[in-house]
Amino acid sequence: MHQFFPGIFFTFETVRILGMAAAGGAELAECLDAIGQIKDNDPESWHRAWAEQARKAEAIANEARASGDREAAKRALLRAHNYSRASYYMLPGAGPLSPDPRYLPLCEKSVALFRDATRFFPPGTVHRLEIPFEGLALPGYLYLPPSWRRIPGQKKAPILIANSGADGLSEEIYFMAPAAALELGYAAVTYEGPGQGLTLHRDGIVFRPDWEVVASAVLDHLETLSTAKPELDIDTGRVAVWGTSLGGYFALRAAAGDSRFKACVAVDPVHDFWDFATTQVPKAFLAAWERGWIGDGAVDAVINLGTRLAFQMKWNIATTGTFFGLRRPSQILRAMKSYTLRLPGGGSLLDRIRCPVLVTGAKASLYLDVSTHTSAVYDGLRNLKEGDEKQLWVGTTPGEGGLQAKVGALALSNQRVFRFLDGHFGIVREHL
């Protein structure tokens, strides 16, 4: 694969941005302009380059408004949103719980740009949600396919609930699967749960491992909304849950905990967050810590030294600590052990899943080893029939879905995701 930068981290995140182009989230030449201004492992140059492209895209949107071009305004605002999101992404601040002061205002700006763009979608396509959850109102969106995209012969649209992962906004998730869902006659929902987006960075609500509780609240709200507004024509009896990376873990937890989910798509999922940690820190060192041979202070000192020597380590610790609401690396590592599909007394949450599941993996993943995560999930679905109720797809090269979360290959990913869902939701499309 072509490397935009010497380091894989900046290259991967660049491909992530470029991959949104198919759904209107990027323009190739604008991205090339930004890439030319970025120095590897230099977060300030990354910030400046993408902030400049966000400003230019917003200016293009204003030109389009002035000339009455709704489509150009929409697309420019979507790009401005995505570039704005990218502009703060590499700002780790001083460490966990010590954010860069630019982070939250830029996050809010990114969300505002996306919401502005939704004004130019076809009427009735986008509905803002406030999902009741333990005294909170989780922000989200319900996307409805326009009448000309509805599935022939089916009055109600099946629903895809798309979970964000560890570091995305629900607005960004629109580019990854919901945009394709609308083209195929599906309704889609995106939302931010605890530890995600503004729910985390503005409201201070941190991650929780039992995501089935969160996902069930989203489904409860959808059912209430469908009853109150039958004209929405959404089919709460055909709901699929989808997620990538840590969002794939969330999707599997949802399917294990709530039988109302009738299909699950786990795109390059995490099986056990602790297993991921062991790929970032030497296993022998972690084993010595677990056995009590070295203390928390030594772990903190070694990892903090690593954050001073390697930008990606600094970013990982700052970002993960903020998700969990924890400051010390030793605390962060311990918290990761709670995010697992293994049960404390043995067995697996995967044994509880009864709906069909599509599991994917990525051979060229920056983060997750296929044998440790993808295979563990697929093999753990012991109650599902292979090839029918459970299916496996492992991408090899980037163009074949080989990068984590299928970045850069979203069209192929969505083709296979919705073929799987069509098959299990009784949707038969005319051969072309």
Per-residue pLDDT, averaged over 371-378, amounts to 94
pLDDT of residue 175: 99
3-state secondary structure of 234: strand
Residue with tokens 């056995």: 291
Q: pLDDT band at 283, cuts 50/70/90?
A: confident
As a whole number, mean pLDDT of residues 377-396 equals: 97
What pLDDT, in 10s, does the model give residues 165-220? 988 899 999 999 999 999 999 999 999 999 999 999 999 999 999 999 999 999 99
Q: Which two tokens stand for residue 378?
A: 């697929």
Is 24 in the same domain as 162?
A: no
pLDDT for residue 356 is more than 90: yes
Q: Check: CB of residue 85 under 8 Å from CB of residue 112.
A: no
Share of the chain above pLDDT 70, in %: 100
- Number of residues assigned to the chain: 432
Residue 279 near residue 199, CB atoms below 8 Å: no
What does the pLDDT look like over 215-269, one tens digit per residue?
Answer: 999 999 999 999 999 999 999 999 999 999 999 999 999 999 999 999 999 999 9
Residue 38: predicted pLDDT: 99
Judgement on whether residues 50 and 153 belong to the same structural domain of the protein: no
Pair 8, 144 in one domain? no
Read off the pLDDT band of 87 (50, 70, 90).
Answer: very high
The total of structural domains in the chain comes to 3
**Which of 87, 110, 226, 245 is labelled catalytic?**
245
Q: Is 245 noted as a catalytic residue in this protein?
A: yes
Note the pLDDT of residue 281.
80
What distance in Å separates the CA atoms of residue 236 and residue 160, rounded to the nearest whole number?
Answer: 10
The SS3 call for residue 45 is helix
Q: Which residue has the tokens 């043995």?
A: 346
Q: Which of 302, 320, 336 is the endpoint of a domain?
A: 336
- Domain identity same for 246 and 358: yes
Task: Decide which of 102, 120, 138 is a domain's last residue.
Answer: 120
Contacts of 422 (CB under 8 A, 6+ apart): 184, 428, 429
Q: What is the mean pLDDT of residues 284-309?
A: 94
Nearest to 257 by CA among 337, 350, 339, 164: 350
User: Please, which pLDDT band fits residue 280 given cuts at 50, 70 and 90?
Assistant: confident
Which DSSP category does 359 fall into? Answer: E
CATH number at residue 15: 1.20.1440.110
**CATH classification of the domain holding 153:** 3.40.50.1820
Pair (97, 219) in one structural domain: no
Is 139 in the same domain as 218?
yes
Q: Can you name the residues that pair with 187 across neighbouring β-strands?
A: 159
- Give the CA dihedral 126, 132, 138, 140, nearest 10 degrees: -10
- 13/174 Cα distance (integer angstroms): 17
Q: What is the DSSP string of 153-167?
A: T-SSEEEEEEEP-SS
Q: Is the pLDDT score of 164 beyond 90?
A: yes
The residue-averaged pLDDT of 146-162 equals 97
Residue that finishes a domain, picked among 92, 120, 148 = 120
Residues β-bridged to residue 390: 357, 386
The boundaries of the domain holding residue 195 are 125-272+339-432
Considering the domain architecture, whether residues 280 and 249 belong to the same structural domain is answered as: no
Name every residue whose Cβ is closer than 8 Å to that of residue 334 and which is 6 or more positions away in sequence: none
Which pLDDT does position 168 carry in this prediction?
Answer: 86
Q: Are residues 176 and 233 in the same domain?
A: yes
Look at residue 15 in the predicted model and tell me its pLDDT.
98
Question: What's the pLDDT band for 379 if we cut at 50, 70, 90?
Answer: very high
Question: How much is the pLDDT for 59?
Answer: 99
Say if residue 370's pLDDT is above 90.
no
170/218 same-domain check: yes
Gap between the Cα atoms of 3 and 11, Å rounded: 6
Q: Are residues 6 and 112 in the same domain?
A: yes
Residue 235 CB neighbour total at 10 angstroms:
17
Q: What is the pTM of this model?
A: 0.97
Whole-angstrom distance, CA of residue 242 vs CA of residue 264 = 6
Provide the pLDDT for residue 282: 83
Mean pLDDT of the chain: 97
Contact call for residues 364 and 398 (beta carbons, < 8 A): yes
Q: Tell me: pLDDT of 277 over 90.
A: no
pLDDT tens-digit series, residues 100-135: 999 999 999 999 999 999 999 999 999 999 999 999
Angle at Cα 94 formed by Cα 92 and Cα 98, nearest 5°? Answer: 90
Give all strands (DSSP E) within 86-225, no chain letters: 126-133, 136-143, 157-163, 187-191
DSSP 362-421: ETT-SS--IIIIIHHHHHH-TTS-BTTTEEEEEE-SGGGT-SGGGTT-HHHHHHHHHHHH
Question: Residues 344, 284: one domain?
Answer: no
User: Amino acid identity, residue 402?
Assistant: G
Together in a domain, 45 and 103: yes
